[in-house]
Amino acid sequence: MRYNIAMISDYFFPQPGGVESHIYQLSSKLIDRGHKVIIITHAYKGRTGVRYLTNGLKVYHVPFFVIYRETTFPTVFSFFPIFRDIIIRERIEIVHGHGSLSSLCNEAILHGRTMGLRAVFTDHSLFGFADAGSILTNKLLKFTLSDVDHVICVSHTCKENTVLRASLDPLMVSVIPNAVVAENFRPLNYVEPSEDGQTGTRLPPINLLGPDDTITIVVISRLFYNKGTDLLIAAIPRILASHKHVRFIIAGSGPKAIDLEQMVERNVLQDRVEMLGPVRHEEVRDVMVRGQIYLHPSLTEAFGTVIVEAASCGLYVVCTQVGGIPEVLPARMTQFAKPEEDDLVAATGRAIAALRANKVRTERFHDQVKMMYSWTDVAARTERVYEGISGALPEEEFYGIHAAGAWTATRGRAGVQSFALMDRLKRYYGCGIWAGKLFCLCVVIDYLIFVALEMIYPRSGIDIAKDWPKKRIDGSPNRDKFASLNRSRSSRHRDKR
């Protein structure tokens, strides 16, 4: 089955980051699998309007007001008219939102459900429960996820977090991890294994370290509080004091960069700590291969793609044991620390000792990571989610044997979410005493706006955009069949109204 999918998030290129590259990689692999994918994001400086990326990936940079760290102002309804226009002209069937802080994504899921589309949400981050900001965010997330077809989380920790925050049925949450493009993260002197599979010759030479060889520790992260920069600032002088032949390379920028520079100057470590400033994503590999250890002091992390990239480059990883990080890499590739200064210093010491004793076979990491993570696999698993929510897969197969017979309010009888306004209102009403009523009000207003928009900008007045020309694979009458199916569904929807 071929789907038309809209990926929606506030976070996309040209801004660098994990969510951004996740969306891009997933989209391009889904296109390779024959789906049509568009991306809707807000306008960045110098990027407004419609753009095409490689492989016919279409990006809509919607002009919107940005308030904080590239997140748009949360207006509940203002995105609807333009969203509807894009959805109709691109004949979208599945709305896939990314990032729980992205208001564009939250709005899109609400409007998408109002328009009778399937909605999927991918959560990339972890949140607390205690402080005021988190409570507000969690309420907003609960609102959005009250009526969503499926949720994807990047790690099991993230799944647990999301299920608790949004009071979801765990059956409708899948875990699909991030991946890395292993070809872009090869170690130095890496020889491509030959096709005939001779395991004896393909292993790269073991790089033995002498006791006086310099060990370089690489840190690449945005220098924000949640990335653990404060921990790093406290740990660096202690690590450098207790180990003689150790250097640091730090890449990245952010509000904490100034503190880091002050620390370097105060301790006169200019010759042992190299600050590179911001690096582009394609340069990350070149920075990584200059070191032997990758230090990741993050305080909260749902997945941590960067440690996979580091391991793929053949670096031994020292990281804090928070969030989804322990799930990401096997124990032989990592040295865990508690998120505190003393333990981080101790773990780094252990890692340096292990490398000096040549106990870690870092040269094998690349091939192992390549076996574990691939975007093609991520795309295939995401496609299965799409098939499950659109009813192409039977309920037992998609939700597992436990779901059979258990009818819940969140899932309809056929295993797929009902679009009827009454059913949707029931789902929202359960959100809380006051919140439930408020959410219902929002949904009703949203529906009325939808009806009004249908009158002001009728569907017949919206041009259908042409699909990116693609080589036809044999047996593509499938496409026409699908188009008629689509039409009959939308006409049914109109009748209902």
The three-class DSSP label of residue 8 is strand
Helix (H) or strand (E) holding 119: strand 118-123
The answer to whether 51 touches 20, Cβ cutoff 8 Å, is no
Beta bridge partner(s), residue 409: none
275: burial class by Cβ within 10 Å (0-12, 13-18, 19+)? middle
Burial readout 18-32 (b: 16 or more C-beta within 10 A, e: otherwise): bbbbbbbbbbbbbbe
Cβ-based nearer residue to another protein, 24 or 83: 83
Cβ-based nearer residue to another protein, 212 or 463: 463
- Looking at residue 205, the DSSP 8-state letter turns out to be P
Side-chain half-sphere CA neighbours of 161 within 13 A: 28
The tokens for 453 are 């928009």
Measured from the CB of residue 45, what is the shortest distance to another protein in angstroms? 16
The tokens for 485 are 């199916």
Cβ-based nearer residue to another protein, 62 or 152: 62
Burial readout 364-377 (b: 16 or more C-beta within 10 A, e: otherwise): bbbbbbbebbbbee
Measured from the CB of residue 489, what is the shortest distance to another protein in angstroms? 23
Cβ-based nearer residue to another protein, 357 or 483: 483
Measured from the CB of residue 73, what is the shortest distance to another protein in angstroms? 17
Measured from the CB of residue 422, what is the shortest distance to another protein in angstroms? 29
Measured from the CB of residue 448, what is the shortest distance to another protein in angstroms? 16
Cβ-based nearer residue to another protein, 258 or 451: 451
The answer to whether 205 touches 189, Cβ cutoff 8 Å, is yes
Cβ-based nearer residue to another protein, 86 or 325: 86
Chain centre to alpha carbon of residue 44: 19
Pure H helices in 155-222: 156-166, 199-202
Amino acid code (one letter) for 272: R
Measured from the CB of residue 466, what is the shortest distance to another protein in angstroms? 8
The answer to whether 15 touches 367, Cβ cutoff 8 Å, is no
Cβ-based nearer residue to another protein, 63 or 475: 63
Measured from the CB of residue 456, what is the shortest distance to another protein in angstroms? 9
Q: Which residues bind another protein (CB under 8 A)?
A: 48-50, 60, 62-63, 81-82, 85-86, 89, 457, 462-466
Side-chain half-sphere CA neighbours of 312 within 13 A: 23
Cβ-based nearer residue to another protein, 192 or 463: 463
Measured from the CB of residue 440, what is the shortest distance to another protein in angstroms? 26
